[in-house]
Each structure stands twice: as C-alpha cells, then as structure tokens.
Structure 1
Amino acid sequence: MALKHTESLSDVHNSVGTENKTGWRKVLAFLGPAYLVSVGYMDPGNWATDIAGGSAFGYRLLWVLLASNLMALLLQSLSARLGIVRGLDLAQASKNAYPRFVNFCLYILAQVAIIACDLAEIIGMAIGLNLLFDLPLLWGVLLTITDTILLLFLMNKGMRKLEAFIVSMIFIVGLSFLTEMFIVKPDVVEVVKGFTPGNLSGSALYIAIGIIGATVMPHNLYLHSALVQTRKINRSDEGIKSSIKYNFIDTVIALNLAFLVNAAILILAAGAFFSNGYFEVAEIQDAYKLLENIFGKTAPVLFAVALIASGQSSTITGTLAGQIIMEGHINLRIEPWMRRLLTRLLAILPAVFTILYFGENALGDLLILSQVVLSLQLGFAVIPLIHFTSDKAKMGKFAIGPVIKILAWISAIIIVGLNVKLVIEQILGWINDYPNARIEIYTIVLPLVTGVGLLLLYVVLKPLLFNRRERPNRVPHGEATDIGGIDQVAYKHIGITLDFSKNDRDSIRHGIMQGGKVARYTLIHVVETAGARYHGTDVMDSETQSDVKNLDKYAADLVSMGYQVTARIGYGLPANAIAKIVAHDKIDFLVMGSHGHKALKDLIFGTTVNSVRHMVSIPVLVVKPQSK
C-alpha cells in the first residue's frame, strides 16, 4: 500500500481506464485533464487583464492573447508529455534534478504564484456575489472560505465527477459570453486587425505581461503533468505514443475553447467600452455597470454568473496544484482540506487588507497585480520543463525534437525577457517616484530581485553545466532495501483501546491473536467528559463510574479465560491519554478500533488513530469495523 502514495495525486492515480477502447470512446477516455487546466485560463484574473486591455487599447492586444495561447498550448503539451513518459509531475522532476535548497526556493515561488492565483478567484467570486446579490465585498471575500467543503465533497466523489463539475462551469462561462457577443455586436474588421503584432511599452506592456501571466499560468504546468497520470495507460512505447497523441487532442480542444472565452472578454470590453469612449475600465464592477447602461439587464447578469462560475472552478484546480507542488518539491503531504484552507487564508489576508485600508475600488488593481506576479514566476516552471522534456537519457525516444525545443526556448525567452523589462522599469519608476524610499529599495528590493535573478540563472544553467546522476533517496519514500531473513516477533505487553461499542469484540479478538496467553494485556478506555478534559486526572462522575465498571467486566471475563489482563482508564484528550498510558506501562504493541468516520465527520470528531500513531513509537494495529 505504501507504494501508492509515491505517485502524484495518489488518491486518483491511474483511476480512469483507457485500455480496450477505440475511436471516440478512446478520445473521450482521455478528455478531462486539459479542461481542469483550462479553467485557469478563464479565471477572474484573465477577466481583469482582458477588460483592462480591451477598454484601454481596443482590439490592439488580441495578438498578445493569441501568442499567449499558442505558448500555453506548446508548454501544456510538454507538461503532459513529462507526466505520461516519466510518470512524474513537474515538481517531482525538479526535486530529482535540483538540490534541496533550490527546491525549497522553487516551492516558495510556486506557492506565491498559487496564492496570487487564489487571490484572483477570491476577488472574482466576491465581485460576482456583490453584483448579483448586492453582498458587501468584504463579506463576499470571507464567504469564499467555505468552498473548502465543496472541494472535499468533489475529491471524495472521484476524478470523473470532479471533471464533470469543472466542464459544467466552463459551459456556463462559454454560453454566457457567446450570448453577450450577439448583444454587443463587435466590429469584425477591427477584430481581425487586432491580431497584427505591435510595439509594447508603458501601460500596454504592463497589461500585456498581465495577460501572459493570466494565460500561461505556472501552476497549470505542475497541474497538467500530474492530471495526465490519472489515466491508466499501456506502458509500452505504442501505448505511451497513443497517450501523448490523445492528450494533445484534449489540450488543443480545451485551450482553444479557453482562448475563445478570453478573446470574447477582450472583444466585449473593446466593443462595449473602448468604442464608446470608456478607455480606463479596469474594474470588473465598472464593466458590469456599463454593460447595464449600454445593453440593458441581460448582459450584466450573464457577466456576473460567468464570473462566479469561473472563480469557483479555478479555485478547485488551484488547490490540486498546491498539493502537487508541496508533495513534489518538499515531500510534505497534508490533508487536501487543510491545504485548501491554508492557501485560501493566505490569499484572503491581502484581499481583506486592501478592502479595509484602500477601499473596495482598489481590488481591481490588486487583481491585475496578482496576474503580473504569476507571470514573474513563469520562468521557474517553464525552463525546468523544457530541460526535462529535452533530456534524451530520461525521456528516451519521446524527448522533444529540435523544432519544438527551439519554439519552447523562444517562448521562455519572450516570457523572461518581458518580465525582466517590467522589473527594471518598475524599480526605476519607484526610485524616481519615491525618493524618500530609496534606502529601502537599495537594501531590500534590489538584493531580493538579484537573489531571484541568480536562482533563475542557476535553474537555466545547472542541467547544462552540472549534470549529475539523480540520487535514489530523492524519490518520495526512498528505495526498498534488502529484507533478508524474517524472524517471528513475540509481543510481551499488548494494549487494546476500547470504546464500549459493538466493535470492542473485534479489537479484543485481534489483540489476543497477537500474544495468546503468554503476553500481558492492558485494556484502555479514555474518559472525555468536560471534567476529565479540564483536570486530566481521576474524575469520578457518573460517566467515569460507568466506564470503570464496563472495563472491569471486560477484564474479569478475559481473566476467567486464562489471560493476564489489567484495566486502565485515561482522562482528557484520547490521543494524549492513550500515548501516556503506552509510555508509562511500557506497552510494546497497540490495537485500536477505527471509528470509520469519513470526510466531514473526521473534521468534527477528529482522527484519534492517526494522532496516536504519530505519538507512539510502537507498532499499531488498526481494526476496521466489520460491515454487516
């Protein structure tokens, strides 16, 4: 069972079958991963950059959107190829290729990108709820924390159900904007001209980089390389080749649909606002109000519904990506709900701070800034991806060819080059605009930027100049060792935890099977009353007296059968009390009954078994309740 947890997204790894299927059934079996990825290309961050670009520059930035989509298509196909061929996601491959400290830095940068992405979802959801129900933005931001429950529910239902939910959200977004295109009626000739490349500088460069960051999202590269592994494929050369082909079809369809939605948002902004003289509509709320003023009530309602749908779907994929980078880069695995909650709280803080100190009108600027942050992190995901998929020693015949490699490096150079230009312009602007803060800029900002730049340089050069064999201990759980001879283990003192339920019989039966009549047994029950929790010692209330009587009866029955048995009552928190008794009585084997809770009940009742396992240094046998 331990082997299962070495894979990316282990709970759903190889969970969707693709074998013994042909034609459209084969295509449909592979459809799904790219749709989960594509929602990141339609999130509220895209809305903000597309609306800002369309209202300020008309259709002139459509070529940036197209170029971003082509880069995304290329890079996402490389991400899928890495996951299919090597069975590793991008974070796991990075862990194998780079030293521990570099991986930690890459994890921090990726985590910042995911928080920035989640920040966009929070703001988008809050704005959508505000537009539809007039809910204050602060309340809307705080309300978004509840989507943890939705994620937990969907994850427990399996990969296909999760994909179905995401596709339904995409359908709502796409249908809403298709309807709005008929309402706005954009200038087709000007739309076509917008695909002609032009010069970028000043605010146009800032918006263009935001569009790139909102389109080619770094966490999507991690996510896609893991999601393709949910498909069970034939690991022969022919099976891998077929999988790459069908996943490419999946990627082309999904990302082009996302491009059409993004283009529709920009065209909507250009046709509705730029053409009517509204050149600085950077706020989603302003877009909603102007749509209502110009086109009536139907268009803005569709706009708000699509905004909520895109935010809700994107936040789920962001959680999956957070799980992937945490497990891959630093080999830390925590529960998905905790991962979701942590990311959401870290993203909520800047949103709440912005509303309280700068007002609700500042959320639009924060939304665009979040997309620029995403773009700044792109190089740290794109460059390792190109290195890994170019490596013939690891990828074999499935390593990318010269043409794809050149196109990939051109994409990376464009992304990094634009980001470098933006950073230089931004720092020079700060120096000129804030002369009193020059000391802070020179002592904090410049060293930080220099450190990030050196890290990027190392990521670029390391695989080329310092190629070393991947160490075996960099796999998630190490490598199997030689077992050798196995001697029988005899336990002398066995503890059995009891809760006076119908499961006690099974727990006692499994316990005495381990030691027979040779071993000593300690029957353990923990009193959890308020008094017991407060005092942590003997509390002879009615519940405790009843528990003592029950435990003594179990002990007396076993003694009459010829077993050496002692009864022990613990007080307070179950895990702490059990661990304390185990240590004090020098128990060398523990038998525990599992309560069988799932999902929400574990959040309410806790997981005593897991807590005890981490608090004791002896073997623990967990007895699952027998189903009738």
Structure 2
Amino acid sequence: MWTPPSADHASLGAAHGSVALPPAGPSAGARLRRFMAFAGPGYLVATGYMDPGNWATALAGGSRFGAALLFVAVLSSLMAIVLQALSARLAFATGRDLAQVCRDALPKPFAMLFWLIMEAAIVATDLAEVIGTAIGLELLLGIPMGVGVLLTAFDAFLVLAFMRFGFRKLEAFVVSLLILIAACFAVELVLSRPDIGEAARGLIPTRALFTDQQMLYIALGILGATVMPHNLYLHSGAVLTRAVGPSLEERRGAIRFAVLDSSIALMFALLVNASILLLAAAAFHAHGHIEVAELQDAYNLIAPLLGSALAAKLFAVALIACGLNSTLTATLAGQIVMEGFVRLRLNPVARRLLTRSIAIVPAIVVIYLGGESSTNNLLIASQVMLSLALPFAVTPLVILTASRKWMGELKAPWLTSAAAYAIAAAIIALNLKLIFDAATGAG
C-alpha cells in the first residue's frame, strides 16, 4: 500500500525523488526518453554481481572444474533478475525501501536480527572489496598488500565527492567503470580462446554438485556473489530516487521501466561473470592448473599462458575498477539498511569509514598471520557468508510482494511469486546442505 515515509525518513535522504522524469507519452521517442531517465539503478545493482569476491569464486570454479559451474552462474543470474524485479516492485508499490517495510512488517526483535545479519553481509561484501582492491594495487603498482588494505580506507572521500555531484553523476561513474571492466574481459576472452563445446556442456547441470562438497562450496560462493542480499535492499532504495507520482498508473509504468533496467544490467553482468569463469577454464584448467584460486596466481599465469603481458595488466585494471565500483554501491546499501531498520542516519563518509574499519581488521590479521596467499580463502568465505545471509533478504521480499495487504493492486503476479518462492526454497535447501556437510564431514 502506498504510504511513503516522511521527508525525515525517506530512503537515501536528499536523493529520494531527486531524479526528474520526462513526461510520459505514447510515442516511441517519449517512451525511450522516459526509460533512459529510469536507467541507472540496475547498473548499481549489477556492480555487486561482479565484485572481487565474485572473481575469486569464478576463478576457483573455472580452474578446478572447467566450465562445469557455468550453469550455476547462469541460474544465479536468472534468480537475481526475478528477485531484483520484486525489489523494484516493492519500492514503487509501497513508496518505501525493503528495510523500511521490514521494519514495519516484522516484530521488533526479528527486525533487529535481520538488520544485524544484513550489516554482517555488507561487512562481508566490503571485506571482498578491501582484499580485491589491495591485490589490484599490488599487481599494477607494486604497493604492498598490507599498505593497500590501509589505503582502501580513503575511498570514503570518493563516496563523498559523488554524493555531492548528485545521484545521476554517481550512476554515470559506475556505468563507465562497468564498461571498462567489460572491455578488459572481452580482450582477455579473445586471447584465451575458450572451448565453445566445453562452454555449451557447462550450461547443463552436473550431478557432481550434490556429491562433491568442494564443488557445492564454490557453487554457493558463486550464488552468494551473484544474488547478493544487500543488493535487494539497495535496489529498493535506489529506484526511489526517481520522482514518480503516487497514481497507480504512474507506479505501474515505473515498475515496468525499473524491471527492464535491472534485467538488461544483470544480463550484462552475467556476460562478465561468465567471461571470468570461462577465462579460468581456458587459461588454467585446460593447461592443468586446477588449483588457481589466488588472484595473484591468476595474474602471474595469465601472461605466459595467453602469450600477452597486456592480458595481465587488464586483469589488474579491471580488478581495481571492480573494487571502486563496489565501494560506492556498498555504501549506499549500508545507508539504506541502517536508516530503514533502525532510522539511524549517518553521514555517508562516516558510514563508509565505519564499515571499512570493521572489514580492514580481518584482512590485516589474515595477511599478518597467514601471509598474502591466504587472502583468497577469506575472499571465498566472505561470498559463502553472503549466501548464508541470503534467506534473510529473500524470504521477506518474496512474502511481502505476494501480499495484497502490503502491495495493494501492485502485488506480484502469482507466477512470479511462485518462481520466487521456488528460488527461496532452493537457496535455503542448498545452504542447509552445506551446513550439514560441514558439520558431519560429508562429501
């Protein structure tokens, strides 16, 4: 039901409703202009689908199992498209983001539990960004990794700069970096010449996923790195930066454009994710390097295996670009989660420094105790943690968007809700199996 919060509690504060929309019209040109005004939040969400943690899981999966886990990446992206569509629908149906609706819908103890779990998920995301960016700086510029981890704290000022420029400028910056990342991997994929037949076979599910604990662990890492829990909260707040009117028809049109925006963006992210996995399969698995999970090892092996020093440099450039992009989106997600659940509003820089400070500590400890080579295990573990946190974002989203009480006339179609319930059940079942296997030593 359409009951937007007061100005003091609007999602993302001053950015709420700040993007003006051209008038609607029947012509193709008017529809295109209106869609372009809606385009942007989907690419903020897509950033989270190709962050450094995603690289670690895709490289580990591609080097160890070839293209066998490609279907997991595709299936995860299709799941994400459905869930992100529900996130946008919830926002325009209620006028509030997912965290705000959860705060009103859940008993207070449950709301607090969900908030703490989402904060942990955002820290896990930030941990991946810290390690990924530090590795990229080390590979490209020779900066020691420990120093690089500390330098990542200063990205808070990048967040402040773009928040001052306005939300559309922030979106444009993110899209520019996404284009750079895609271009880097397009070149790398051409150089690696992946086996098309193997890639096609990778689209068919394998029974080994349910018998090989290591494959399931990496598959859940891919799932957690693709369907990221905080992205569902981020999307529901980011779309509300559009100045959509309260009428049913305006909100119905807004849902269509927002879903189209996120679907296109996530298909773009799938191409990048698939490229990373196929690059690992072609460059490493095919040459017998089945234990390449470290980003540093991948960088060192790419040049001799592909016969091009450019490939390694592009790898490092894309890694840094991923870290910078994820910095911006994780900060926005953190604001939405904190403001929505507990109505605590922090300056974006203060919020960024708080999250990053928590993330830096385990990274420094692991580097000090285990050396730089141990950071990749931490990266994959962070993505599995995201997968374990997923039910606490997916379950309320699916239940709320199927409810006429909360959504009114804009409740999700029954077929969409059925698919979403199936997705939620699959995520929960896979997580339970992973926990059972870990507890019993099975697999």
TM-score range normalised by the length of the shorter chain? over 0.9
Residues 398-457 of structure 1: per-residue CA shift (max 9 Å, x gap): 11122111110110011111111111111223xx9xxxxxxxxxxxxxxxxxxxxxxxxx
Q: How far, CA to CA, are the matches of 2:256 and 2:271 in structure 1?
A: 23
- Which of 5, 16, 21 in structure 2 is aligned with 1:18? 21
Letter in 2 for 1:102: F
Q: CA RMSD in A?
A: 1.1
- Which of 12, 18, 43 in structure 2 is aligned with 1:35? 43
In the alignment, which residue of structure 2 is the partner of 1:588?
A: none
**Do the aligned residues in 2 keep the contact of 1:19 with 1:234 (CA within 8 Å)?**
no
In the alignment, which residue of structure 2 is the partner of 1:446?
A: none
Q: How far, CA to CA, are the matches of 1:282 and 1:3 in structure 2?
A: 48
**Do the aligned residues in 2 keep the contact of 1:33 with 1:228 (CA within 8 Å)?**
yes
* Number of residue pairs matched by the alignment: 429
Q: CA deviation at 1:19?
A: 3.6
In the alignment, which residue of structure 2 is the partner of 1:267?
A: 278
- Which of 208, 216, 219 in structure 1 is aligned with 2:230? 219
Letter in 2 for 1:180: E
Residues 12-52 of structure 1: per-residue CA shift (max 9 Å, x gap): 01111114151321111000001011100010011000000
**Do the aligned residues in 1 keep the contact of 2:56 with 2:380 (CA within 8 Å)?**
yes
Q: How far, CA to CA, are the matches of 2:292 and 2:102 in structure 1?
A: 41
**Do the aligned residues in 2 keep the contact of 1:51 with 1:266 (CA within 8 Å)?**
yes
Between Structure 1 and Structure 2, which shows a larger proportion of helix residues? 2
Letter in 2 for 1:7: A
Spell out the pairing of 1:580-595 with structure 2 (5 A cutoff). none
**Do the aligned residues in 2 keep the contact of 1:151 with 1:337 (CA within 8 Å)?**
yes
Q: Compute the TM-score of the two structures, normalised by the length of structure 2.
A: 0.95
In the alignment, which residue of structure 1 is the partner of 2:399?
A: 387
Residues 134-153 of structure 1: per-residue CA shift (max 9 Å, x gap): 11110010000000011001
In the alignment, which residue of structure 2 is the partner of 1:329?
A: 341
Q: How far, CA to CA, are the matches of 1:353 and 1:11 in structure 2?
A: 38
Q: How far, CA to CA, are the matches of 2:87 and 2:192 in structure 1?
A: 37
In the alignment, which residue of structure 1 is the partner of 2:27?
A: none
Q: How far, CA to CA, are the matches of 2:297 and 2:14 in structure 1?
A: 43
Residues 558-591 of structure 1: per-residue CA shift (max 9 Å, x gap): xxxxxxxxxxxxxxxxxxxxxxxxxxxxxxxxxx
Q: What SS is found at the alignment partner of 2:390?
A: helix
Gaps of 5+ in 1: 433-628
Q: CA deviation at 1:130?
A: 0.5
Q: How far, CA to CA, are the matches of 1:3 and 1:117 in structure 2?
A: 30
Spell out the pairing of 1:494-509 with structure 2 (5 A cutoff). none
Q: What SS is found at the alignment partner of 1:150?
A: helix
In the alignment, which residue of structure 2 is the partner of 1:175?
A: 183
Letter in 1 for 2:43: Y
In the alignment, which residue of structure 1 is the partner of 2:115?
A: 107
Q: Compute the TM-score of the two structures, normalised by the length of structure 1.
A: 0.67
1:85 aligns with 2:93: yes
1:340 aligns with 2:352: yes
**Do the aligned residues in 1 keep the contact of 2:40 with 2:171 (CA within 8 Å)?**
yes
Q: CA deviation at 1:235?
A: 2.0
Q: How far, CA to CA, are the matches of 2:382 and 2:310 in structure 1?
A: 30
In the alignment, which residue of structure 2 is the partner of 1:188?
A: 196
- Which of 337, 349, 359 in structure 1 is aligned with 2:361? 349
Spell out the pairing of 1:129-208 with structure 2 (5 A cutoff). 129-199=137-207, 200=209, 201-208=212-219
In the alignment, which residue of structure 2 is the partner of 1:301?
A: 313
Letter in 2 for 1:160: R
**Do the aligned residues in 2 keep the contact of 1:390 with 1:400 (CA within 8 Å)?**
yes
Q: How far, CA to CA, are the matches of 2:99 and 2:416 in structure 1?
A: 22
Letter in 2 for 1:286: D
Q: What SS is found at the alignment partner of 1:281?
A: coil
Q: What SS is found at the alignment partner of 2:344?
A: coil
Residues 256-295 of structure 1: per-residue CA shift (max 9 Å, x gap): 0000000000000000000000001110111111101112
Q: How far, CA to CA, are the matches of 1:393 and 1:323 in structure 2?
A: 27
Letter in 1 for 2:324: Q
In the alignment, which residue of structure 2 is the partner of 1:556?
A: none
Q: How far, CA to CA, are the matches of 2:389 and 2:425 in structure 1?
A: 13
Aligned residues with identical type, % of pairs: 48
Between Structure 1 and Structure 2, which shows a larger proportion of strand residues? 1
In the alignment, which residue of structure 2 is the partner of 1:247?
A: 258
Letter in 2 for 1:222: Y
In the alignment, which residue of structure 1 is the partner of 2:415?
A: 403
Q: CA deviation at 1:190?
A: 1.1
Q: How far, CA to CA, are the matches of 1:287 and 1:190 in structure 2?
A: 21
Instruction: Considering Cα pairs closer than 8 Å and 6+ residues apart, tell me whether 1 or 2 has the greater RCO.
Output: 2
Q: How far, CA to CA, are the matches of 2:74 and 2:424 in structure 1?
A: 16
Residues 175-222 of structure 1: per-residue CA shift (max 9 Å, x gap): 000111111111111111110011213100000000000000000000
**Do the aligned residues in 1 keep the contact of 2:89 with 2:412 (CA within 8 Å)?**
no
Q: How far, CA to CA, are the matches of 1:82 and 1:256 in structure 2?
A: 21
In the alignment, which residue of structure 2 is the partner of 1:424?
A: 436
Q: How far, CA to CA, are the matches of 2:416 and 2:360 in structure 1?
A: 40
Q: CA deviation at 1:366?
A: 0.3
Residues 532-566 of structure 1: per-residue CA shift (max 9 Å, x gap): xxxxxxxxxxxxxxxxxxxxxxxxxxxxxxxxxxx
Q: CA deviation at 1:394?
A: 2.1
- Which of 11, 14, 27 in structure 2 is aligned with 1:8? 11
Q: CA deviation at 1:238?
A: 1.4
Letter in 1 for 2:322: S
Spell out the pairing of 1:507-518 with structure 2 (5 A cutoff). none
Residues 357-379 of structure 1: per-residue CA shift (max 9 Å, x gap): 11110000000000000000000
Q: How far, CA to CA, are the matches of 1:56 and 1:101 in structure 2?
A: 43
In the alignment, which residue of structure 1 is the partner of 2:132?
A: 124
- Which of 235, 239, 249 in structure 2 is aligned with 1:228? 239
**Do the aligned residues in 2 keep the contact of 1:19 with 1:233 (CA within 8 Å)?**
no
Q: How far, CA to CA, are the matches of 2:351 and 2:141 in structure 1?
A: 30
Q: How far, CA to CA, are the matches of 1:85 and 1:232 in structure 2?
A: 14
**Do the aligned residues in 2 keep the contact of 1:19 with 1:232 (CA within 8 Å)?**
no
Q: How far, CA to CA, are the matches of 1:195 and 1:267 in structure 2?
A: 12
- Which of 62, 81, 84 in structure 2 is aligned with 1:76? 84
Q: How far, CA to CA, are the matches of 1:330 and 1:379 in structure 2?
A: 20
In the alignment, which residue of structure 2 is the partner of 1:435?
A: none
1:276 aligns with 2:287: yes
Q: How far, CA to CA, are the matches of 2:390 and 2:424 in structure 1?
A: 8
